[in-house]
């Protein structure tokens, strides 16, 4: 597809600096720009690339003041990163979408399939399932009995959704993810063996949830494991039974949340964050990468780091001391020797 600067500026309500008729047909990083490409500049540390980029059009913030000559046509917008994301979404939506049900797909007679649906090769749709309008179910997807998908869901190849799960409208689940597998519930017995506790609940994804690749979301022992609307989960995340993740929270790869923990709204977790079970995490909590959370976070909009995690400023002060520990140890050993010498005298 090809767009002029005037068309793009009109869509973004931006201001053109340069040639309004110049055309682009691809996108590129600003440092890898080429003729016919659209790029953006949001982070100031990449500014030096804009003066040499070969990209034809660059989106910039209205506040950007160049310190040299620029060959590219600029489109000034309020937020160049958000504007670029909007354009990518527009291009993605313009791509042709597959439709129809492949001959090798297996759909049980009691399942209800909406209109304008794609179901790919070797997909399985179980008994009493409901597949909403406009859904795309790619090859080798398994949808268990009594599961419901809202309108316009995208279920990518190799996803497994166990029985009785509920997905809202506009959910996206990426390849290899498992939704609704058994929670890790075992009761210790007198003979030191473990008896499996049946996991009789389900998983609920509310509207516009996006789940990355190879994520596991366990079904509840009783009730539901709930991922609230607008949540975005990265790849390789583990959500245990009866967890609840509040709306519009985001989590980076390899985060793990233990059973029955409740995460508030608008939280942000870095990579490899780990939460113990039965915790309450306040709205707006931000946890840095590899943070280990052993207790409740009660104050909203708190930022914490470390394992066990503590408040950011306290963590940074502590890290300074940690770096000095070797020389402090030498001084302490020296002082102990002096004290012993004084005692002998």
Q: What is the DSSP letter of 220?
A: P
CA–CA dist 201, 183 (Å, integer): 9
CA–CA dist 46, 292 (Å, integer): 33
- Annotated domain spans of the chain: 3-94, 100-311, 319-345
Distances (CA, A) of 33 to 19, 45, 68: 17, 17, 18
CA–CA dist 183, 245 (Å, integer): 16
pLDDT-derived band of residue 337, with 50, 70 and 90 as boundaries? confident
Q: Residue 241 catalytic?
A: yes
> Are 183 and 259 a contacting pair, CB within 8 Å?
yes
Token pair for 178: 């498992």
Domain 100-311, CATH homologous superfamily name and number:
Hexapeptide repeat proteins (2.160.10.10)
Which tens digits make up the pLDDT trace of 202-211? 999 999 999 9
> Are 240 and 203 a contacting pair, CB within 8 Å?
no
| CATH code matching the domain that covers 3-94, chosen among 3.60.110.10, 3.40.1390.10, 1.20.120.550, 3.40.50.300 | 3.40.1390.10
Which tens digits make up the pLDDT trace of 256-308? 999 999 999 999 999 999 999 999 999 999 999 999 999 999 999 999 999 88
In the predicted model, what is the mean pLDDT of the chain? 95
CA–CA dist 128, 141 (Å, integer): 16
Which residue would you say has higher pLDDT here, 273 or 312? Answer: 273
Residue 190: which residues within 8 A CB-CB, separation 6 or more? Answer: none
CA–CA dist 241, 317 (Å, integer): 36
User: Which of 48, 102, 140, 241 is labelled catalytic?
Assistant: 241
What does the pLDDT read at residue 131?
98
Closest by CA to 271, choosing from 253, 293, 285, 284, is: 253
3-state secondary structure (DSSP) of residue 334: helix
Token pair for 277: 């079970």
What does the pLDDT read at residue 50?
97
Over 80: is that where the pLDDT of 345 sits?
no
How far, rounded to the nearest angstrom, does the alpha carbon of residue 120 sit from its chain's CA centroid?
25
Mean pLDDT of 317-342: 87
CA–CA dist 53, 159 (Å, integer): 41
Q: Name the one residue in this structure whose structure tokens are 């506790």.
A: 197
Over 80: is that where the pLDDT of 1 sits?
no
3-state secondary structure (DSSP) of residue 102: coil
């Amino acid at each position: 597809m090809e767009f002029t600067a005037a068309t793009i500026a009109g869509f973004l309500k931006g201001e053109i600096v340069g040639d309004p008729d110049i055309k682009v047909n691809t996108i590129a990083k600003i440092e890898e720009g080429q003729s016919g490409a659209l790029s953006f500049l949001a982070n100031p540390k990449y500014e030096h690339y804009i003066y040499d980029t070969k990209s034809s059009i660059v989106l910039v913030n209205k506040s950007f003041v160049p310190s040299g000559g620029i060959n590219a046509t600029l489109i000034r917008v309020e937020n160049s990163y958000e504007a670029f994301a909007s354009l990518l979404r527009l291009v993605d939506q313009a791509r042709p979408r597959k439709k129809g049900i492949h001959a090798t797909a297996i759909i049980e007679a009691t399942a209800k399939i909406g209109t304008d649906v794609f179901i790919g090769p070797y997909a399985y749709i179980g008994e009493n399932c409901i597949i909403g309008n406009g859904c795309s179910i790619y090859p080798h997807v398994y949808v268990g009995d009594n599961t419901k998908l809202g309108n316009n869901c995208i279920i990518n190849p190799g996803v497994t959704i166990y029985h009785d799960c509920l997905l809202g409208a506009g959910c996206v689940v990426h390849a290899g993810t498992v939704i609704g597998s058994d929670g890790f519930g075992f009761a210790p017995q007198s003979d030191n063996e473990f008896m499996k506790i049946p996991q009789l609940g389900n998983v609920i994804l509310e509207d516009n949830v996006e789940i990355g690749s190879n994520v596991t979301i366990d079904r509840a022992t009783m009730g539901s494991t709930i991922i609230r609307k607008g949540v975005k989960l990265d790849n390789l995340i583990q959500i245990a039974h009866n967890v609840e993740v509040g709306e519009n929270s985001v989590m980076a790869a390899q985060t793990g949340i233990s059973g029955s923990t409740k995460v508030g709204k608008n939280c942000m977790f870095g990579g490899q964050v780990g939460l113990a079970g039965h915790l309450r995490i306040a709205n707006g909590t931000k946890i840095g990468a590899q943070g280990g959370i052993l207790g409740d976070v009660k104050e909203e909009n708190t930022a914490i780091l470390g394992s066990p995690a503590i408040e950011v400023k306290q963590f940074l002060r502590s890290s300074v001391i940690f770096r000095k520990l070797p020389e402090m140890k030498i001084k302490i050993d020296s002082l102990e020797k002096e004290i012993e010498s004084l005692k002998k005298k």
